[in-house]
Structure 1
Amino acid sequence: MIHYITSTGVGNAWVGNELMSLADQDIPFRLHSLRQPTSTFFKSGRVEEIASQTNYIYPLGAARVIVSVLLAPFLFPRHFFPALWNSLFGRKESFTIRLKSLLHFCVACAWARDLRHQRVSHIHSQWINSCGTVGMYAAWLLGKSFSFTGHAADLFRERCALKDKIARAEFIVCISSFHRDFYIAEGADPDKLMINYCGIDTSQFSPICTTDPDVEKSQGRPLRLLSAARLVEKKGFKYLISACKTLAEKGVDFECVIAGDGPLLNQLEEQIVQHNLAGRVSLTGLPLLQEDIPNFMRSGDIYCLPCVWASDGDVDGLPQMLMEAMACGVPVISTRLVGIADLIEDGKTGLLAEPNDADDLSEKIGRLISDKSLRDRFSESGREKVKSEFDLSHCLESLLNKFRQNIKKHNAKGTG
């Protein structure tokens, strides 16, 4: 059985997609999570069933942790002291990270104590921050193999004992070419690395038919620009609103709808008012559920997500929403950042602007608004790109095969 650990359960769309793929392929797994999710973007029965069976590791009482650590040398005599030594003296980024690693080692002792009585073939961590540390030490204590998928904030803003995890991992899932290069630069063995995009089920998304801007105007609707994500700095919404201001000043006829909620809602509303864009740029203020994404995409003509590096180090790895827009046949615009270029080939399957550059972004948006033939071309090429390279049916196959191999190997030993 594959034991799959995350930070917040089925809190992200790609986690739900990946777990449903495991279920579809009859790969036995159990989901564990450090914490309860604060929100979810799914309402499907299958995801709710997975969520209902999730084992939440926190809250974890101090007494239970202390007892687990005291028992661990006897429960895991071969591996306890090497793992403890690593938590104390391994390759850590700072003294604070060393203390966190020791804490997570203690949590892993409690979790591994519970897992002793379950079938464990392999432990995989989706995220490589705190849950990755707990996953690594639990696998070490149990003498089982370990792997992880890193994304963005967990690799940069929340980096924690990364070199230790790279060294301990049997394999590492890279969600883009950027990530593969990043791990190699950190000393990873290239043979451990496999690119597996956080893909989507393209059968759930159907293309739309864009119409000529003149026809749209005669129907009372200008060309519609869409964007959707949590309203946080790394999504670059302030640059999108600034780009809309430039387009409006040039007399371009368009409207922009931004779906999502988050801490920057009031700030972005104020920016819209300051730029005299009320009535042209609107914020829904509500999160977009996974099941509502296809209809949202069909309501517009262009999708734009101008991602940036946030001031706290947070960044997007490869936004799934871009894939979903392309799968719906919506031409897309984003920025040259992290893994986005794997999906959007500039000038071929969409357009890429420079991050933090509202002028470049407005030029790219204006170019697509004014050129229907280019929109039609990106609509077709973008959808084909996602179907051929980012559909779950094949982009997860190498990961699923790894899981099958681990189950087979440990079943042969009578341990998994």
Structure 2
Amino acid sequence: MPTDRKIAVILKGYPRLSETFIAQELLGLEKAGHELVLIALRRPTDGKRHPVHDEIRADVHYLPEYLHEEPLRVLKGLVRSLPKPGFWKALGLFVKDLGRDLTRNRFRRFGQALVLASEWPGDPRWLHAHFIHTPASVTAYASVIAGTPWTCSAHAKDIWTSPDWELSEKLGRARWTVTCTRTGYEHLQSLTSQKARVHLSYHGLDLERFPRFDGEHSSRDGSDEADPVRIVSVGRAVGKKGYDVLLQALALLPEDLHWRFEHIGAGELTAKLKVLGSELGISDRIAWKGALDQTDVLAHYRTSDIFALACRVTADGDRDGLPNVLVEASSQRLACVSTAISGVPELLVDGENGRIVLSEDAKALSLALEQLIRDPEGRRRLGAAAEKRVRAHFDHHSSIEQLTTLFANEWKAA
């Protein structure tokens, strides 16, 4: 749906291998006729890119990641923002927020907003923040300074690690907010009186990039040492992914079963997980693949037998929403086992199209894995049902149409 409104999308970092759902949304909006400019708070740290990143046409601009690294740029932002009608109101909001969150991060957010409002890359007429924590803070301040409306996409960590007061105020300031799981949607709705401004919008999957798998998954059942069952997981090596629990579950599998586990992804806990694998005596059955692009990930889905992800809630409240990798794996008829966290049960129903166990329960996870390993026909049945659900309910075109309608309704009213 073409529009003369250019949207500045504020992102925490870009491009990021772990955020393909954002990249496919950006490309979808462009294909729908929206003109975008991307504003990132951090420069990329991944060594690779997904093919989708090369298809996005929008210009990318980077704000100072740390204010002390570009002091002149921040000072210019302050000088240029001072005459703007909304500067003093934004400063008042910042001071109020600072009283409840006296951190360097809070100063950084306001400094980045000054740079954004003063440089105004691409001369946008709308601001849209991806994530309701840091990017939304920068966006909210810049919106007040420049007098430009803003909207927001909230996801998982940003919801569950933000204080309620901050979420509530941002929900009141944004024209609308979308989020990608029912649990997140219900939580956000509970924090605002303007419930109609909060919308549930599943990211979905670009099914053109994950076409139907015409082949067949194997009949491996763990009995052949020369041809072990292949278990794969895709995700950053961070606490909320529960890889320590998954390794413990693998170590509990009966000795007569033959399996191999492959992990795809980078992350801060990789070294510790490798040590844990050695301590558990299973390191010779594990391959740590590191970060791979979408094409390689798709190939692994198709040659594996089981996808496993042991999602959990961490001590600070961080958790997944609905991990896109579960949707991806399901689209390839790959039997999945995961945990009853956040949006996972919105995709997988235990025994119908996957296996769901309680979080932190390594024994239950191990039993579910054992059952899947020993039962290739059961894996095929679950995988087929999962694919059917994904292709019926998780096509990302639906979310793009929903976003386009939300933007169009705002602009008609303007």
Give the TM-score of the pair, scaled to structure 2: 0.88
After TM superposition, give the deviation of residue 20 of structure 1 in Å. Answer: 0.8
Q: Distance in 2 between matches of 1:291 and 1:299?
A: 13
AA of the residue aligned to 1:257: E
1:74 to 67, 78, 83: 83
2:20 maps to which residue? 13
Conserved? CA contact 2:223–2:257, under 8 Å? no
1:13-412 matches, cutoff 5 A: 13-39=20-46, 42-44=49-51, 47-48=53-54, 50=56, 53-58=59-64, 61-75=70-84, 77=85, 79-90=86-97, 94-96=100-102, 100-101=105-106, 103-115=108-120, 118-157=122-161, 161-187=166-192, 189-205=194-210, 206-207=212-213, 208-213=215-220, 220-249=226-255, 251-279=256-284, 281-407=285-411
Conserved? CA contact 2:36–2:58, under 8 Å? no
AA of the residue aligned to 1:238: D
After TM superposition, give the deviation of residue 36 of structure 1 in Å. Answer: 0.5
After TM superposition, give the deviation of residue 312 of structure 1 in Å. Answer: 4.3
Conserved? CA contact 1:42–1:291, under 8 Å? no
For the residue of structure 1 that corresponds to 2:13, the secondary structure is: coil
AA of the residue aligned to 2:216: C
Conserved? CA contact 1:34–1:131, under 8 Å? yes
For the residue of structure 2 that corresponds to 1:18, the secondary structure is: helix
After TM superposition, give the deviation of residue 289 of structure 1 in Å. Answer: 1.4
Say if 1:372 and 1:103 are closer, same or farther in 2 by CA, change over 3 A. closer
Q: Distance in 2 between matches of 1:234 and 1:211?
A: 30
Q: Distance in 1 between matches of 2:39 and 2:47?
A: 16
Q: Distance in 2 between matches of 1:181 and 1:68?
A: 38
After TM superposition, give the deviation of residue 347 of structure 1 in Å. Answer: 2.3
Conserved? CA contact 2:37–2:124, under 8 Å? no
Deviations 1:166-194 (A, max 9, x none): 11011111110011111022225221111
Conserved? CA contact 2:29–2:400, under 8 Å? no
For the residue of structure 2 that corresponds to 1:197, the secondary structure is: coil
For the residue of structure 2 that corresponds to 1:111, the secondary structure is: helix
Say if 1:363 and 1:175 are closer, same or farther in 2 by CA, change over 3 A. same
Q: Distance in 2 between matches of 1:314 and 1:49?
A: 31
After TM superposition, give the deviation of residue 406 of structure 1 in Å. Answer: 4.2
For the residue of structure 1 that corresponds to 2:10, the secondary structure is: strand
After TM superposition, give the deviation of residue 392 of structure 1 in Å. Answer: 1.3
For the residue of structure 1 that corresponds to 2:159, the secondary structure is: coil
How large is the Cα RMSD of the aligned pairs? Answer: 2.5
Q: Distance in 1 between matches of 2:182 and 2:47?
A: 28
Say if 1:237 and 1:186 are closer, same or farther in 2 by CA, change over 3 A. same
After TM superposition, give the deviation of residue 351 of structure 1 in Å. Answer: 1.2
Deviations 1:94-118 (A, max 9, x none): 3325x74454234313311222x85
Deviations 1:305-364 (A, max 9, x none): 011123444321211111110011101011111121111122222111111110110111
Structure 2 unmatched runs, 5+? 1-5
Deviations 1:79-135 (A, max 9, x none): 233222222225x783325x74454234313311222x8543321101122221111
For the residue of structure 2 that corresponds to 1:154, the secondary structure is: helix
Say if 1:241 and 1:348 are closer, same or farther in 2 by CA, change over 3 A. same
AA of the residue aligned to 1:89: K
Say if 1:274 and 1:219 are closer, same or farther in 2 by CA, change over 3 A. closer
Conserved? CA contact 1:122–1:407, under 8 Å? no
Give the TM-score of the pair, scaled to structure 1: 0.88
Q: Distance in 1 between matches of 2:287 and 2:236?
A: 11
Deviations 1:212-269 (A, max 9, x none): 336x8669412221112222222111111111111134x2333222223323223222
Say if 1:257 and 1:370 are closer, same or farther in 2 by CA, change over 3 A. same
AA of the residue aligned to 1:244: L
Conserved? CA contact 1:8–1:34, under 8 Å? yes
After TM superposition, give the deviation of residue 407 of structure 1 in Å. Answer: 5.0
Structure 1 unmatched runs, 5+? 411-416
After TM superposition, give the deviation of residue 396 of structure 1 in Å. Answer: 2.6
Q: Distance in 2 between matches of 1:297 and 1:192?
A: 37
For the residue of structure 2 that corresponds to 1:204, the secondary structure is: coil
For the residue of structure 2 that corresponds to 1:31, the secondary structure is: strand
Deviations 1:370-396 (A, max 9, x none): 333321221111111111221112133
Q: Percent identity among equivalent residues?
A: 25
Q: Distance in 1 between matches of 2:413 and 2:45?
A: 37
